[in-house]
Structure 1
Amino acid sequence: MLALRKWLLSGLLVIVPLAVTLGVLNWIVGTLDQTLWLLPEQWQVWLSDHRIRGLGVLLTLAILLVVGAVASNFIGKRLLGWGDALVRRIPVVRSIYSSVKQVSDTLFSESGNAFRTAVLVQWPREGMWTIAFVTGAPGGDVVNHLHGDYLGVYVPTTPNPTGGYFVMLRRSDCIELKMSVDEALKYIVSMGVVVPGGPAALPTRQS
């Protein structure tokens, strides 16, 4: 029975990650395939008859590359500036657009530091520790009420790191970790099971 249990657990450790990965990839490919409506109607009919799986991924990548190339030159930047100013004049839309734009600029900007540093903080109370990610420095009127050097950090939940809390802590209360953001996320999602650095990083027991 012990051997059967061991084999069953070993099989689960192999199959579950593979099945989840394939499921997520299948959902992504299926979602991106919906971009085929951007093609001419005759092409859509031909593609629906032949059902070429994954073509939407290639189309999405092509669109991103074209938009990025246009946005990188002088004329494209001017056009984007005019479009940005136009959208910001539309009520309701401008509030949503401005929020999303600010977050995306912070996350994807090459010069930004958001989510590039993993830190160890005491949360939710003193004596309890968790991993968080630095999002930047406090700004706006907030800095007028904070005395000292503070950092904005995002404390993710486990095992779903897409939910969490944004808090501002003193820099001295944040211990910078010598691990990448990817390693820290794996550690969080696995609830501490996947240790950064592998088994060699685990502390050895004293005999």
Structure 2
Amino acid sequence: MNLASKYFINGLIVIVPIAITAFVIVYIFSFTERLLGQYLPIHFPGLSLIVVLLVIVLIGWLSSHWLLKKLLGYGERLVCSIPVVKFIYNSVKQLSTAVFESQKLLQNAVLVPYPHPGVKALGFVMPELSAPLAEKFAEEHVCVFIPMSLNLTSGFNIILPRRDIIPLDVTSESALQYVITAGAIMPRGNDSDN
């Protein structure tokens, strides 16, 4: 790979996430500005930012109360009773949950024998197996997510004996960087500063 194409790829890696994030934020705020402009007599710069933040905090606060939890549960059951809408809603909900909880989920980096014995792949230990799965095994098994390089949104979930797992003493951020960069950046230990 020549130097120009290397710099081009590095530029894309830096620009694409920033551009997508900026696009989503600008779209949300411009939509809120248009909506507020139609229904509120007052308008000042930054009003949409304040309104969006207040709405997010208000919904988060309300969703922690039992009455709204029941209403949200009822609404969710209603949405999930519509065939096509159920698929879209569940997919978006699972994706957003995975994105916002990814720091919790992708913490325990391990090495596992994958795709066959003799080689090792970096993966992340997932939550405990549910009872219907765990009872199928004579010894303790765990679920490990092995992300695909350059794309954390796809990968493989494998279930294997706990004895086959090699725990890694590395930071979760550096393990994720290792995956995202296809091994160009090696994982760093928990005690390293850089």
TM over 0.5: yes
Verify: 1:16 aligned to 2:10, yes or no.
yes
Q: Which residue does the alignment assign to 1:28?
A: 21
1:174 shift after superposition: 1.0
1:55 shift after superposition: 8.7
How does 1:78-157 map onto structure 2 within 5 Å?
A: 78-94=70-86, 96-98=88-90, 101=93, 114-139=105-130, 141-157=132-148
Deviating more after overlay: 134-143 vs 161-170: 134-143
Q: Would the aligned equivalents of 1:107 and 1:114 in 2 still touch at CA under 8 Å? A: no
Question: Which of 143, 153, 163 is the equivalent residue of 1:162?
Answer: 153
SS at match of 1:67: helix
Q: Which residue does the alignment assign to 1:66?
A: 58
Q: Would the aligned equivalents of 1:116 and 1:181 in 2 still touch at CA under 8 Å? A: yes
% identity of equivalent residues? 28
Q: Which residue does the alignment assign to 2:179?
A: 188
SS at match of 1:137: coil
Q: C-alpha root-mean-square deviation of aligned residues, in Å?
A: 4.0
Q: Would the aligned equivalents of 1:120 and 1:176 in 2 still touch at CA under 8 Å? A: yes
Q: Would the aligned equivalents of 1:32 and 1:57 in 2 still touch at CA under 8 Å? A: no
Q: Give, as a single letter, the amino acid of the residue that structure 2 aligns with 1:28.
A: T
Q: Give, as a single letter, the amino acid of the residue that structure 2 aligns with 1:31.
A: V
Q: Which runs of no fewer than 5 residues in structure 1 stay unpaired?
A: 45-51, 202-207
- Select the structure of larger CA radius of gyration: 1
1:92 shift after superposition: 4.3
Q: TM-score, normalised by structure 2?
A: 0.70
Verify: 1:172 aligned to 2:163, yes or no.
yes
Q: Which runs of no fewer than 5 residues in structure 2 stay unpaired?
A: 39-44
Q: Would the aligned equivalents of 1:118 and 1:132 in 2 still touch at CA under 8 Å? A: yes
